Structure 1
Amino acid sequence: MVNNTLSSYAASTTTIAPIEPTKSAEVPLLWKVASQPAWLIFAAAVFLVSVPVFIEAPLVRSLPWFSLALTAGWVWLSFKLMSRPSTYVWGDLLLGFSWSWLAGSIYWGWLRWEPLWHLPVESIGLPFALWCVCRNWGKIGNWFYLGSLLGTALTDVYFYLVDLIPYWRQIMQVESTTEVAAILQSAVTQVQTPWGQVWALILAIALLTIGVLPLPKKQRHWYAFSGAVLSTILVDCLFLLAAVLA
């Protein structure tokens, strides 16, 4: 009886092997993501919306197939970056940018003569982005894409409301710089009407509100979204300035 009791006690006090401490290489991915400065993600989102507009647009008109092929390069690079915890955030953001680049290559390369196709083509990545957001995967890149798409949609709505679509079609059909300048001047005159100015103000307020409201949440995917939305104002202003100076 005593021997049985002692055996049971010895078994119950058997030393459990200590768990080895987690190595630095196994730090959770979420910690790596959280270590990236939010303002840097915001700045990168602004860059990826504004600067490529002036790079992809001329490239796609002269080399549409090359511009389209670059999409595969962006996707490859994004997954390459996402395979490393230290660069995961930038790969995530670049993957969202790849959808915008793909849509821009398709539309401005082959469909730019018809404004009605602009928003449907720009929405090419929408089902994928919504699917990923619902599953909480790739939040930074997909929210960047959604912000960029929203800014594009509001700008297109302005074009329809102010009746700028005819000028869009005319510009896409002429080659002479002189003719383009004349059409742009006519479009600016349309924008400067009371109707055009009121809707421009409404558009700016809407973009500012949508872009600023998520920032207090201090989450990186919202900074990417806000950067994409707010940079739409910058791009629109630059286009307007170019039209005025034409």
Structure 2
Amino acid sequence: MRVILTIVNLKLRKALLLEPPQLDLPDPPSSLQPCEWRLEVTQSTEPRLKAFWVSAFLVAVPVFAQAPLVRLFPWTSLLLSGIWLLGGWQLLRSPRLRFWGDLLIGFGWSWLAGSVYWGWFRWEPYVHLPIEAIALPAVALLLLRNRAQIGSFFYLGSLLGTVITDLYFYWVDLIPYWRQVMSVPPAEAGSVLHAALGQMQTLPGVSRAAVLLALLLALGILPMQSKRAIWWSFSGAILSTILVDSLFFAAAVLA
């Protein structure tokens, strides 16, 4: 009997040495869970917010920088398009700078189209949209190859915003004023803008502006339901069109 007890005792000691006891610890305090959740949300939304705000900024840049440059030095503006595109491709190779290179490529396409139209064809509104869409084949090819997607969606959003703005010009019959503003001396542009403003402030002009504004808001807000940064870049480009159009409206009022 003593021998049996000794054997059992040895086996128990061996088991305790090889398999330490499992502690039944309680779950972490619930007060820590919101902090972890907030951290996860912050990390997941940061790329989308950055894509949105940078895209919105890049749509507004040509209004202040490219517009005066392309009138005075169209070839310089065209040369800058190549610099943006080449710089974007270089940045795209770096994992740390890939986001900026991606967006810079999309911005380069928009800058290229703006340089060509406003540099040499600004007197003819009917070719505005075809020239603005000049990069569509390249963008489609990039999307098929899953390359530069954020920049491509930025370009598409910017182009769609331009289409809706031009649609308003056709719908309210502002095309004749477009041609006049581009052909008269700057000192006489104010009277042309005031005449266009009078047509915009009619009931058809205001109601059609409201319809297209609602369309812009819908096209800009709905893609933000996605968790992908490409759609937030698209939304930023479209929604900033409202800001740019508002600036042109303010210029017409103050002219």
Structure 2 counterpart of 1:3: none
Question: Are the structure 2 counterparts of residues 213 and 184 from structure 1 closer, same or farther at C-alpha, using a change threshold of 3 Å?
Answer: same
For the residue of structure 2 that corresponds to 1:124, the secondary structure is coil
Match of 1:122 among 115, 126, 132: 132
Residue 23 (structure 1) aligns with: none
- Counterpart CA distance in 2 for 1:242 and 1:176 is 13
Deviation per CA, 1:144-196: give whole Å up to 9, x if none.
Answer: 0000000001111110010000000000101132x100000011111001111
Letter in 1 for 2:66: E
Displacement of 1:36 = 5.7
Superposed CA deviations along residues 187-226 of structure 1, whole A, max 9, x for unmatched, are 1111001111111001100000000001011210001100
Number of the residue aligned with 2:229: 220
Alignment-mate amino acid for residue 204 of structure 2: W
Matches within 5 A, 1:199-210: 199-210=208-219
Alignment TM-score, normalising by the size of structure 1: 0.84
- Residue of structure 2 equivalent to 1:111: 121
Distance in 2 of aligned mates of 1:112 and 1:192 = 25
Match of 1:93 in 2: 103
Task: Give ranges in structure 2 of 5+ residues lacking alignment.
Answer: 1-43
Matches within 5 A, 1:8-157: 37-157=47-167
Instruction: State the alpha-carbon separation in 2 of the partners of residues 152 and 38 from structure 1.
Output: 23
Gaps of at least 5 residues in structure 1 are 1-33
Find runs of 4+ consecutive structure 1 residues off by over 4 angstroms.
none
Q: Which amino acid aligns with 1:38?
A: R
Other structure's SS at 1:224 match: helix
1:190 aligns with 2:199: yes
CA distance in 2, matches of 1:78, 1:180: 37
Match of 1:243 in 2: 252
What displacement does 1:51 show? 2.2
Which residue number corresponds to residue 173 of structure 1?
Answer: 183
Partner of 1:25: none
* Structure number with larger C-alpha Rg: 2
Aligned length: 212
2:238 counterpart of 1:229:
yes
CA distance, structure 2, for counterparts of residue 35 and residue 171 of structure 1: 43
- Relative to structure 1, is the Cα distance of residues 193 and 35 closer, same or farther in structure 2, using a 3 angstrom cutoff? closer
SS state of the match for residue 216, structure 2? helix
**Between 189-198 and 36-45, the greater mean CA deviation after superposition:** 36-45
Q: How far has the Cα of 1:141 moved from its partner? A: 0.4
Q: What is the DSSP-based 3-state SS (H/G/I as helix, E as strand, rest coil) of the residue aligned with 2:130?
A: helix
- Report the alpha carbon displacement of residue 134 of structure 1 after superposing the two structures with TM: 2.8
Code of the residue aligned with 2:71 in structure 1: it is R
Which has the higher mean CA deviation after the structures are superposed, 35-44 or 98-107? Answer: 35-44
Evaluate the alpha carbon distance shift between residue 151 and residue 171 of structure 1 in structure 2; reply closer, same or farther with a 3 A threshold.
same
Q: Quick one: distance in 1 between partners of 2:240 and 2:157? A: 10
Which whole-Å CA distance do the structure 2 matches of 1:151 and 1:39 have between them? 20
Percentage identity across aligned positions?
54
RMSD of aligned residue pairs (Cα, Å): 1.2
